[in-house]
Amino acid sequence: MARFKVDTRLALILGENYRSTELALKELVDNAWDADAENVRINLPQALEDGPIIISDDGCGMTTKELENEYLVIASDRIARKGEKTQKKNRKVKGRKGIGKFAGLVTANTMEIQSKARGIQTSLIIKKEVLLQSKRELEKIQLPTITTKVKDTDNGTAIILSDLNQNFVFPSIEKMKSILMFEYGRQSDFKIFVNDQLVGVEDLPGETFVKHFELEDVGEVNLKFTISEEKPLKNPGIVVKVNGKVIGKPSFFGLEDNENIPGKLLKRVYGEVEADGLANDVTADWGAIIENSNAFQDVTQEVHAIVEKEVKKTFNREVNLQKARIQKKINSQLQKLPENRREYAKKTLERILQRFSYENDERINTIISVILDALEYDEYWLVIQNIESAQKGDIFKLADALSEFGLIDMANIAIQAKRRLKLLDEIQKLIEDDNTLEITIHKALEKNLWVFGSHYSFMASNESLKSIVENKILSKYQGDKKKKRPDLLLSADFSERYLLLKFKRSNHKIDRDDENQAEKYRDELHQYLTSGKIEIIVIGGKKDSKIDSKYQDGSIVISSYYEIISKARTELEWLIRELGNN
């Protein structure tokens, strides 16, 4: 008869949080990894079937004593007991808190453990309802164990999960394989099968490419790779396999030197190339391919061309999607430039945005805003005139002009970003002076709304908006009320999105009354601006700690001057640093 042994750091077994049933099941695969298993099999019944989920492995297994004295010790630190590496395969241990082994109870109400080691199979059953009823008196729960003889060579553990939890969506085979591929895809001695299907490259979410070709000195070559649709992968690149064995580390076959392919995109490439014909070109320890192998150079050239073609397709498609999202903003700002400059500005934006593809929209907006400001400087247009004046046959003059064009292009953007940083320094001096009035800060920021976020860069006030604020709201503050007259700025962009800024002194603590008053102003303005959404920013010295942002609806932001300036400074410093790297 076995019992739980409760560590003094007990955490309730079912208190462990998992975002999905698939992640809970992955914990059981992690246990197989820690047991030095080479093969793991996961059997998931069909959604409408009443069968169990089974996770079995061929790891070291557990004796009856090990099961009682180690497995049933809850919240026991595995690393503290056995070290950071596994005994047989020297793997880095994943299980740490001693609770993940019970993750199966997230998915099912009954968990049966069958473990074989040293000629004995030990089985026991754990029921969730019994654990919940016992609360913290887990030591008193009796767990009947059954032992049977097996072959001395039989080792491993099987977890059988039955009476599945009906409150959760049934585990998805595709999602299960995808999660396991992300975690274990590069492990040559750890194979995972889900419903008898080996987890492989094609199980990553994204577009998978399979290519077969023959080379004279190599023979048949099979290339399979996926460009993941998610974040950069763990150990990305393409590995070479010879006779089923991975040789060396994953690489990008020279694509990392292509300036036109972003590193962030390459880190989403994951695959393998099988070339058994390279067996004579492998080092004696089978740790690498001999560097000056002509056969391997042929493979490299072919793989490089195939992967480059597909990666560039993906790059162009994703850049075009990104441009489509921000095209309205670009078009609106281009209209403000003189007509003879628009085409050049458009081409410059396209070229620069290609360099900064795969950045988030906030940073892209920062880049656009700074570029369009920089394009207004005269020296930039002098370079363009030099290019236009170059005769068709004057190759050297044209080359010099183009070179100068690129340098001035990048330099002016950096100069404009640095000018904005200097402006932030001046604004900070204003807010650090307790005597600075709201109207002073208002004037400093009225033409520089990019300070509040790059998505506000394309907003501006105009006479109509000023008239609405003055006549419909501020006109009420006369006589004795004049001292309470608020400082408001109303701006709009091309898409009829409005921003209402309420300025407070730099030593004022914004409280709930300020927030409520700003919302009342918005309600009044909605009578005259019926077609657009009005966002609110209330800005002052600091925010009352009683105001909790999680209870706000997202259309009103309470912020301090220091917070706004710090964020704007971070974006500009990033842009200057990236321009330097480029």
Q: Predicted confidence band at 98 (pLDDT cuts at 50, 70, 90)?
A: low
Measured CA to CA, the distance from residue 328 to residue 458 in angstroms comes to 10
Residue (of 534, 563, 281) closest to 424 by Cα position: 563
Measured CA to CA, the distance from residue 49 to residue 209 in angstroms comes to 34
Determine the Cα angle at 570 with ends 567 and 576, to 5°.
145
**Of residues 406 and 242, more confidently modeled:** 242
The dihedrals phi and psi of 85, each to the nearest 5 degrees, come to -120, 150
Measured CA to CA, the distance from residue 113 to residue 59 in angstroms comes to 14
Q: Which amino acid is at 530?
A: T
Strands 156-164 and 53-57: antiparallel
**Of residues 130 and 274, more confidently modeled:** 274
Q: Predicted confidence band at 398 (pLDDT cuts at 50, 70, 90)?
A: very low
Q: What mean pLDDT, rounded, does the chain reach?
A: 80
Domains, the chain, with CATH or none: 2-197 (3.30.565.10), 200-312 (3.30.230.10), 318-426 (no CATH), 435-563 (no CATH)
Contact 320, 327 (CB under 8 A): no
- Spatial strand order in the sheet of 269-274: 206-215, 219-228, 269-274, 237-242, 245-251
Residue linked to tokens 């369009």: 372
Say yes or no to pLDDT of 154 above 70.
yes
356 contact partners, CB below 8 Å, separation of at least 6: 363, 364, 367, 578
Per-residue model confidence (pLDDT) at position 80: 56
- Give the DSSP H or E segment for 428: helix 395-432
Q: Predicted confidence band at 40 (pLDDT cuts at 50, 70, 90)?
A: very high
**Of residues 221 and 94, more confidently modeled:** 221
Structure tokens that stand for 65 in this block: 């004593």
Per-residue model confidence (pLDDT) at position 171: 84
418 contact partners, CB below 8 Å, separation of at least 6: 572, 576
The SS3 assignment for 533 reads coil
Say yes or no to pLDDT of 221 above 90.
yes
Look at the pTM and tell me if it is higher than 0.75.
Answer: no
202 contact partners, CB below 8 Å, separation of at least 6: 208, 210, 224, 226
The SS3 assignment for 505 reads coil
Which of 19-23, 153-157, 232-236, 502-506 is modeled with the greatest confidence? 153-157
Q: Is the dihedral of CA 181, 182, 185, 190 positive or negative?
A: negative
Per-residue model confidence (pLDDT) at position 321: 81
Distances in whole angstroms, Cα of residue 454 to Cα of each of 9, 221, 362, 420, 534: 48, 49, 6, 12, 17
404 contact partners, CB below 8 Å, separation of at least 6: 383, 386
The DSSP call for residue 172 is P
Contact 7, 73 (CB under 8 A): yes
Per-residue model confidence (pLDDT) at position 122: 93
Say yes or no to pLDDT of 359 above 50.
yes
Per-residue model confidence (pLDDT) at position 322: 77
In 118-218, the DSSP E strands lie at 120-127, 142-143, 145-149, 156-164, 191-194, 197-198, 206-215
Contact 44, 171 (CB under 8 A): yes
- Number of helices (H), then strands (E), in the chain: 16, 23
Kindly report which listed range (39-43, 47-51, 376-380) carries the lowest average pLDDT score.
Answer: 376-380
Contact 559, 442 (CB under 8 A): no
Per-residue model confidence (pLDDT) at position 50: 77
pLDDT tens profile 51-62: 899 999 999 999
Measured CA to CA, the distance from residue 561 to residue 504 in angstroms comes to 10
Say yes or no to pLDDT of 562 above 60.
yes
Residue linked to tokens 């070229």: 351
DSSP H stretches of helix in 195-338 = 263-266, 294-334
What integer is the mean pLDDT of 135-142? 60
